[in-house]
Amino acid sequence: MLDPLLLARIQFAATTVFHFFFVPITIGMVFLIAIFESIYVKTGDEHYKRITKFFGHLFLINFAVGVVTGILQEFQFGMNWSEYSSFVGDVFGPSLAIEALLAFYLESTFIGIWIFSWEKINKKLHAMCIWLVGIGTVMSAFWILSANSFMQHPVGVKYVENSVIGKKAEMIDFFAIIKNPYLWNQFPHVITMAITVGAFTIAGIASWKMLRKHEVAIFRKAFRVSIIAALIGSTGLFVTGHSQMQYLVREYPMKVAAAEALYEDTGNSAPFSVLATIDQKQQKAEHHLEVPGMLSFLAYDKFEGSLRGMKSLQKEMDEKYYPVVGKHIDYTPHVPTIYYSFRIMSASVGILILMSLLGTIYSFKRTETKKGWFLKLMPWTLLVAEVATACGWIMAEMGRQPFLIFGVMATESGVSPNSGASVLFSLLVFCVLYTVLGIIQYIAFRYTMNKKETTVKEVA
């Protein structure tokens, strides 16, 4: 028998992860394009104008596909999560309205001006347009994350009875929503991740062009700027991730315990496990490879300090949330998924830091074009960055289970009263549409990347 709740959750995961493939590329690329154009305006170097236009075309392709995937994603909220939408609509409404009416309008308006005003307005004004697009993308991310952060840490609301839809959340403090501590731990991490993904996108494409001897002098400059941005972004990703980890230890210990497969409380110096065999049914894990004291350091910045395990946290949460849920349930998330998502994400960030560091060194030594193996590997770093991004979101969202809104609404309470067959049908339709969109983006990217410009004057 088809389980509509399971299928709805799979559909949400598929649409969200696929949509988020494009979002960080958009945010990261636009700021680097703005830097390229600013260098052109400052120096008059026509190479940077060529770089700006080339990557601007790729950015517009990605932006268009990202908008379409975002629109498709919104449909599944109404189809599969109507109970949740009714409950939280008054809270999400202001954030999503501001995102659409302010941030997205800012992006779309100045993208249009930027596209059609080359050679028609002052160079500095034209460069300002792309900077405003970048500001709009960050604002858009902020308001979307404010809504997501409410799901993780609900604040600024009261719960009232409605004669039509029953109990619902009603906002009483808008500023509490935007001051949400979860938001301010999540937002820097997401932005540094976006800068990292966008920078590796440009660096990878520049490497691909240099490897094929396409305008090497031009794309060498693009590579140098983007690989430095990749090093800054990936290092920032590590720093903000470490800060977020310590916040989770304080506020959401169950998520951290699941990420470490800790069923029992640790000793005073907690080791970090690299590999483990997890038996969720028996509630035990065998840790095969451990780094002594490292988990304590990640949690407390010192090599001592204990962390609580899932068994003791389960008793505490059952007692705390029984009045909300109305029954005794298992508050342990799916441990293998969270455990391995965290490790894949961490390993991916390590690879990104290493590749960006090597690239920066080669670039300053002007030996990057002599490192054929390195240029061949660089395009694959985009895939590594996207894997890290997807695993980070999977860990964050799966770690919230069994709640849709943490401590307030169980996931099963927010699903629409649909049949399993109807949810399966919509899931298949979404998968087909996303596959088509992915193919379209790939073809458009390849076509643009394969185009050769014989001289800079032809595109100036």
In this model, does residue 381 exceed pLDDT 90? yes
**Secondary structure (DSSP) of 247-290:** HHHHH-HHHHHHHTT--S---SBPPEEEEEEEETTTTEEEEEEE
Percent of the chain with pLDDT strictly greater than 90 = 35
309 touches 335 (CB < 8 A): no
Residue 280 CB burial class (10 angstroms; 0-12, 13-18, ≥19): middle
> What are the tens digits of pLDDT across the range 154-177?
998 888 876 555 678 888 888 999
Handedness of CA 339, 345, 351, 354 (dihedral sign): negative
- Least confident range from 44-53, 160-169, 214-223, 297-306: namely 160-169
Of 289-293, 295-299, 326-330, 334-338, the poorest mean pLDDT is in 326-330
pLDDT band at 420 (very low <50, low <70, confident <90, very high): confident
When computed from its CA atoms, the radius of gyration of the chain, rounded to whole angstroms, is 24
Distance between CA atoms of residues 9 and 420, nearest Å: 12
Q: Is 400 helix (H, G, I), strand (E, B) or coil?
A: coil
pLDDT reported for residue 70: 82
Identify the residue whose tokens are 């919509």.
426
What is the average pLDDT across 45-72? Answer: 90
**pLDDT greater than 80 at residue 454:** no
pLDDT in tens, 335-352: 999 999 999 999 999 999
The rounded distance, in Å, linking the Cα atoms of 223 and 214 is: 13
pLDDT averaged over the chain?
A: 87
pLDDT at 92: 83
Beta bridge partners of 405: 409
Among all chains, which residue has been given the structure tokens 């300090």?
Answer: 305
Residue 134 DSSP SS3: helix
CA dist 306 and 312 (Å) reads 13
pLDDT given for residue 207 in this prediction: 92
How large is the angle between the packed helices 82-98 and 123-152, nearest 10 degrees? 150
pLDDT grade for 455, boundaries at 50, 70 and 90: very low
Does 433 score more than 80 pLDDT? yes
Q: How far is residue 336's CA from residue 282's CA, in Å, rounded to a whole number?
A: 13
pLDDT at residue 164, as a whole number: 52
Residues 256-260 have a mean pLDDT of 90
Q: Whole-angstrom Cα distance, residue 107 to residue 119?
A: 21
pLDDT at 269: 86
pLDDT band at 380 (very low <50, low <70, confident <90, very high): very high
Task: Give 18's pLDDT tier (boundaries 50, 70, 90).
Answer: confident
pLDDT of 11 over the 90 cut: no
The whole-number pLDDT of residue 228 equals 95
Token couple for 452 = 């050769």
Residue 171: strand, helix, or coil: strand
Is the per-residue pLDDT at 135 higher than 70? yes
Q: What angle do CA 94, 179, 145 make, to 5 degrees?
A: 55
Task: Identify the H or E element spanning 368.
Answer: none
> Is the peptide bond prior to 253 cis by the omega test (within 30 degrees of 0)?
no
pLDDT in tens, 116-131: 988 888 999 999 999 9
* Residues composing the chain: 460
Per-residue pLDDT band for 101 (boundaries 50, 70, 90) equals confident
H helices of 122-180, in order, are: 123-152, 174-178
What is the rounded average pLDDT of the residues 423-449? 88
Type of residue found at 126? H
9 class by beta-carbon count within 10 Å (0-12 exposed, 13-18 middle, 19+ buried):
buried
Q: Is the pLDDT of residue 458 over 80?
A: no
* Predicted confidence band of residue 284 (pLDDT cuts 50, 70, 90): confident
| Residue 49 one-letter amino acid | K
Rounded distance, CA 240 to CA 106, Å?
A: 27
* Max Cα–Cα distance, the chain, nearest Å: 72
